[in-house]
Amino acid sequence: MPNIKSQKKRTRTNEKKRLLNSSFKSSMRTAIKKVKVAVEANDLEQANIALAGATKKLDKAQTKGILHKNNVAHKKSQLATLVNTIK
């Protein structure tokens, strides 16, 4: 446990950020799973809607610094390719 006042504050803010980031990552993973479920069901319309939502979440994760831009680009590309497999 820190003794310095500024370090105590930093510990508190880090914990708040960790919880927010954790919550956001969870919602991001859920959005990605929705795309995969829609593709498995061969529902093109639902898959496109889910892809738009997942893309928005991924872009926001990049902006917030939760994910690296190359990681985000890779995930978006994978999801778009997956959606394009629906006939």
Encode pLDDT of 52-69 as tens digits: 999 999 999 999 999 999
Number of domains forming the structure of the chain = 1
**79 pLDDT more than 90:** yes
Instruction: Give the confidence band of 1 by pLDDT, cuts at 50, 70, 90.
Output: confident
Question: Quick one: tokens of 26?
Answer: 């969870």
Q: Does residue 53 contact residue 38 with C-beta atoms inside 8 Å?
A: no
The pTM assigned to this predicted structure is 0.86
Tokens, residue 63: 């902006």
User: Residue 87 above 80 pLDDT?
Assistant: no
pLDDT class for 80, splitting at 50, 70, 90? very high
Distance, CA of 65 to CA of 34 (rounded, Å):
23
CATH number at residue 33: 1.20.58.110
Domain holding 62, by residue range, is 5-84
Reported as a pLDDT band with limits 50, 70 and 90, residue 82 is very high
34 Rama class: left (phi>0) / alpha (psi -120 to 50) / beta: alpha
